[in-house]
Amino acid sequence: MDQNEAETIALNVLNFLLGNETRLERFMTLSGMDPQALKNNASDPVFLAGILDYLLQDETLVYLFVEEYNLSPALPATARRTLVGGNNGDFH
């Protein structure tokens, strides 16, 4: 997987969160971000890695995401490893 593919998957995760008020509110509460911050950071690879970190912490969210986007369950983790050098750029 290349950087562009990984970023596309992360942006899809962001859209997945934005598409559900409960998921979005939970993410914003835990991250401390507001909608404007989400928009401003959407092109930042470190932020996108953080979106994937958030998703990967919850198996149910991973399952719902890959089902909705018809993806392999391994793709979010692969995308995360591709962005900002694997776990070296964790966003917590």
In a domain, 31, yes or no: yes
Tell me the pLDDT tens digit for each residue of 2-48.
999 999 999 999 999 999 999 999 999 999 999 899 999 999 999 99
Residue 52: domain span: 3-86
C-alpha Rg value of the chain to the nearest Å:
12
In a domain, 42, yes or no: yes
Does an H or E element contain 36, and which? helix 35-41
pLDDT at 84: 76
Tell me the pLDDT tens digit for each residue of 53-79.
999 999 999 999 999 999 999 999 999
Cα 59 from Cα 79, distance rounded (Å):
16
The percentage of the chain sitting over the pLDDT mark of 70, rounded to a whole number, equals 91
In a domain, 61, yes or no: yes
Question: What is the pTM for the complete model shown?
Answer: 0.86
Task: State the DSSP string of 41-84.
Answer: HTT-HHHHHHHHHHHHT-HHHHHHHHHHHT--TTHHHHHHHHGG
